[in-house]
Amino acid sequence: MSSIGLPHFLIVGAALFALGMVTVVTRRNAVGILMGVELILNAANLNFIAFNHFVATPGSLAGQVFSIFVIVLAAAEAAIALAIVLAIYQTFHTIDVQDTDLLRQ
């Protein structure tokens, strides 16, 4: 059995992405969807780190920097998104995305 390589990280990242994706697509609760989005973002972060480690020029920190940006943005995003969810709740009295279909018109 060889040491843990890039494919293993990618598999974990893909699994994480897939789980996040499924959460986003299937959950009807807006907060749930938000959680799914966090999973997807972290899957991306995992990939950044992995590629930085295995593929990029040694000594480069580009992957880590990106990850940190993503984490920061995710925090900001979560804050804004939760605010939006609150606004939706105030408008529709629900946070079920099936019922908030105003775009349809």
Partner 1 sequence: MEHELASQNEAVARAIEVSWLWLIPVFPLLGSALNAFLGLRLQRAYGKRVNHAIAVGAMLLSCMVAEIAFWKMFVAAPQDRFFENHLWTMWQSGSLQVDLSFGLDPLGMMMTMIVTHVATLIHVYSTGYMADEPAYWRFFMWLNLFVFSMLLLVMGSNFVVMFFGWEGVGLCSYGLIGFWYEDLTKASAAMKAFVVNRFGDFGFIIGLFILFWSLSGVWSKTNQYLPERGLGSALVRGTSPEPARVSGSGTTLGPTLEFRELRNQVSDESTGMADRLKGMTLWGFPVLALICILFFVGAAGKSAQLPLYVWLPDAMAGPTPVSALIHAATMVTAGVYMVARLNFLFALSPPAMTVVAVTGVLTALFAASIGFFQYDIKKVLAYSTVSQLGFMFIGVGVGAYWAGVFHLMTHAFFKACLFLGSGSVILACHHEQDMRKLGGLRKYTPITRWTYLAACWAIAGFPWASGFYSKDEILWKAWTADGLSAPWIGPAIYVLGAIAALGTSFYMFRSYYMTFTGEYRGHGGHEDKERLEDPHAMAAHSHADAAVQAPSSAAAVQQVAATDVAHQHDHSHSASPAHDDHGAAPAHDDHAHDAHGHGGEPHESPSSMTYVLAVLAFAAVVAGFVFGWPAAWGGGHEPALERWLAPSLPAAEHVKFRELGHGTEYLFQFFGLAIASLGWFAARVLYLDNQSTAPARLKEMFPRAWSVVFNKYYVDEAYQATVVRGSLVLSRILYWLDQNLIDGIVNGVGFVGRSVAYVDKVIDERFVDGAVNGLANLTWNSGKQLRRLQTGHIQSYLFGALGGAIAFVIIQYVIR
Residues near partner 1 (CB under 8 A): 21, 24-26, 28, 33, 97-98, 100-105
Name the minimum Å distance from CB 100 to partner 1.
8
Q: Which residues contact 60 (CB under 8 A, 6 or more apart)?
A: 52
Name the minimum Å distance from CB 93 to partner 1.
18
Give the Å distances, CA to CA, from 49 to 39, 40, 44, 74.
Answer: 15, 14, 9, 16
CB nearer to partner 1: pick between 53 and 89: 89
Name the minimum Å distance from CB 43 to partner 1.
14
CB nearer to partner 1: pick between 8 and 28: 28
CB nearer to partner 1: pick between 31 and 65: 31
